[in-house]
Structure 1
Amino acid sequence: MAGPDTGADAPGTQARPLVPLYEAPQLPRWSLPPALTELYGSDLGFAEPVIYSNFVASLDGVVALGPEHPSSGSAISGNEATDRFVMGLLRACADAVVIGAGTLRASPHHLWTPQHVYPAATADFAELRHRRRRAPDPELVVVTASGDLPTEHPALHADAVILTTAENARNLHARLPATCTVLAAGRGPRLPISNVIDAVRARGHGVVLTEGGPHLIGQLIRERLLDELFLTTAPVLAGRANTIRPGLIAGLELLPAHRRTADLVSARRRASYLFLRYQISHPLPPAQPANPT
């Protein structure tokens, strides 16, 4: 992910305007507040409904540094302020932000709001949401099949929707703050990602950002549910040796048997960082032979 960490912007760090390198002409455009348009390099918008994700990756394709560094996005990005601005902007556009319980546990002080990652644009993010007639913050949706949640996490005390199994829902109702809404999205031991998205849609959310990790992205890709990917390529080499350092997708193998492609629809630059936007292609599954009569 263009990743949550334990705090907000370091004092004095300011994003710099992105330089547009390429933009597909058919992209939807919402009217952003002028300060956001200046920083992003143009307006930004989505065709609804949409599910999009946001990651930062090293040049060698690492998006997470392993279990000993559970919240490693800012280490990969170098805490680049412009990456944090883009993360905040993508949150400001969203009706809901979907994360897994592992992401919540790995970021013990984080709030999944636009202003948390880029406070300098707080007023402009609020203006964008006002123009869009949205709530002040996107709704945080936490997905957990196990029910293992840190009940003291500040994000759970600031309103959150918990999607879990029917078996865990009653127990979580008793354990979590009253600010949380707990919903059953399936019966254990796993939650089908299609059930999760159905539950999010049922709450009226057409524009959905996922900041879940590679396993959640793998599930969305498997079920042909992810529409767009925002990828920041940081000018750094992470390396791999004795720890698991995943790329964008975990828990799903595609090549060589299954080819999924993406269309580049936007490319921007800030110094040696690249900010890329892809639309994911989802070919239809092979037709099943008809049952003999």
Structure 2
Amino acid sequence: MAAPDTAPGAPVKRTEPLVPLYEHPGLPRWGLPPALAALYGGDLGFTEPCLYANFVASLDGVVALGPEFPSSGSTISAREPADRFLMGLLRACADAVLIGAGTLRASPHHRWTPEHVYPPAAADYARLRLRRSRPPEPELVVVTASGALPTDHPALRAGALIVTTTAGADRLAGRLPTSCAVVPLGDGPVLRLASVVDAILARGHTAVLSEAGPLVLGQLVGDGLLDELFLTVSPVLAGRAGTIRHGLIAGLELLPNRREGADLISARRRGSYLFLRYRLRALLGRD
């Protein structure tokens, strides 16, 4: 997952521009506002509908430091300003930001908006959304089968779409802020991510950013739903010993029996950080 803040009001340094290393020819271009294009090192766009994910990982592939560090992305990224800028830019491009209940609980002060993660570009993020005729902020979508949510979370007070089961909806009845909407998707104890994505698309959202964790990403990949992956590689080693430290995907075993590949379509750097963009090969047949 990306690297949200865990403390409100934390200062954010300004980033220097990303340096383009490679760009696949023919990528969609939306015409970013000049200030965003200068920092990103070029233009950005998506072929819609598109579901894309954003993660930061250590050199040895760790994206989560374990249950005792519930929001570990900021530690892995060392709060690198370029990573935060890109996180905000990807949110500014999105109609909806998808997270799981675990991500919500792990970030008790966070708002999944572009300006929250990188305030210096707030005005330019807003220009991008206005240029694309989008609301000021992407819709936050929280997936929870059980309905076990911190209903006083500031992100929920600001408004969110809660996708859950019938039992989860019953558990949340009368407890959520009036700014939230609930979509129950059946009586089963688990949620199918394909049904969740269908519910998001049914609301007219065609650019969906997942900032959920490795378990949700595993389901998205397993069901062939993920179109693109943005991966920040942080120049740090996390290590593994007695703690479960997930890589990008959890809950899904692929190799050696199942091979899922991706094509590198963009690479940028800022200092010793790499910012990579991949297109998942499982979906190339749709092009």
| TM category, shorter | over 0.9
Give 1:24 shift.
0.3
Q: C-alpha separation between the residues in 1 aligned to 2:150 and 2:243?
A: 25
Give 1:10 shift.
4.4
Give the match for residue 196 of structure 1: 196
1:90-129 matched pairs, under 5 angstroms? 90-129=90-129
One-letter code aligned to 2:181: T
Give the match for residue 150 of structure 1: 150
What's the secondary structure of 1:99's corresponding residue?
Answer: strand
What's the secondary structure of 1:3's corresponding residue?
Answer: coil
What's the secondary structure of 1:175's corresponding residue?
Answer: coil
Deviations along 1:171-191, one digit per CA (max 9) or x if unpaired, are 313111111101112322100
Work out whether residues 215 and 250 of structure 1, in 8 Å CA contact, stay in contact via their aligned partners in 2. yes
* Larger Rg, first or second structure (1 or 2): 1
Give the match for residue 270 of structure 2: 270
Q: Which 4+ stretches in 1 moved above 2 angstroms?
A: 7-12
Identity value in percent? 68
One-letter code aligned to 2:276: L
What's the secondary structure of 1:276's corresponding residue?
Answer: strand
Deviations along 1:44-94, one digit per CA (max 9) or x if unpaired, are 000000000000000000000000000010100000001000000000000
What's the secondary structure of 1:104's corresponding residue?
Answer: helix
Q: C-alpha separation between the residues in 2 aligned to 1:195 and 1:23?
A: 33
Q: C-alpha separation between the residues in 2 aligned to 1:255 and 1:142?
A: 30
TM-score by length of 2: 0.97
Give the match for residue 55 of structure 1: 55
Work out whether residues 54 and 211 of structure 2, in 8 Å CA contact, stay in contact via their aligned partners in 1. yes
Give the match for residue 247 of structure 1: 247
Give 1:2 shift.
2.1
Q: C-alpha separation between the residues in 2 aligned to 1:110 and 1:3?
A: 11
Q: C-alpha separation between the residues in 1 aligned to 2:260 and 2:230?
A: 16
Deviations along 1:138-194, one digit per CA (max 9) or x if unpaired, are 000000001110011000000100000012213313111111101112322100111
Q: C-alpha separation between the residues in 1 aligned to 2:60 and 2:221?
A: 21
What's the secondary structure of 1:32's corresponding residue?
Answer: coil
One-letter code aligned to 1:212: A
Count of aligned pairs between the two proteins? 285
TM-score by length of 1: 0.95
Please identify, of 35-44 and 180-189, the stretch whose mean Cα deviation from structure 2 is larger: 180-189
Q: C-alpha separation between the residues in 2 aligned to 1:172 and 1:277?
A: 37
Give the match for residue 259 of structure 1: 259
The 3 A distance-change label for structure 1 pair 12 and 2 is: closer
The 3 A distance-change label for structure 1 pair 92 and 81 is: same
Give the match for residue 211 of structure 2: 211
Give the match for residue 135 of structure 2: 135
One-letter code aligned to 1:279: R
Q: C-alpha separation between the residues in 1 aligned to 2:281 and 2:173?
A: 39
What's the secondary structure of 1:237's corresponding residue?
Answer: coil
The 3 A distance-change label for structure 1 pair 283 and 258 is: farther
1:77 matches 2:65: no
Give the match for residue 184 of structure 1: 184
What's the secondary structure of 1:282's corresponding residue?
Answer: helix
Q: C-alpha separation between the residues in 1 aligned to 2:173 and 2:226?
A: 30
Work out whether residues 53 and 209 of structure 1, in 8 Å CA contact, stay in contact via their aligned partners in 2. yes
Q: C-alpha separation between the residues in 2 aligned to 1:174 and 1:10?
A: 33
Q: C-alpha separation between the residues in 2 aligned to 1:9 and 1:25?
A: 40
The 3 A distance-change label for structure 1 pair 163 and 231 is: same
Give 1:8 shift.
6.3
Unmatched tracts of structure 1, length 5 or more: 285-293
What's the secondary structure of 1:230's corresponding residue?
Answer: strand
What's the secondary structure of 1:224's corresponding residue?
Answer: coil
Give 1:12 shift.
5.9
One-letter code aligned to 1:240: R
One-letter code aligned to 2:189: P
Work out whether residues 97 and 141 of structure 2, in 8 Å CA contact, stay in contact via their aligned partners in 1. yes
One-letter code aligned to 2:102: G
Work out whether residues 261 and 281 of structure 1, in 8 Å CA contact, stay in contact via their aligned partners in 2. yes
Unmatched tracts of structure 2, length 5 or more: none
One-letter code aligned to 1:39: L
1:174 matches 2:179: no
Q: C-alpha separation between the residues in 2 aligned to 1:139 and 1:283?
A: 25
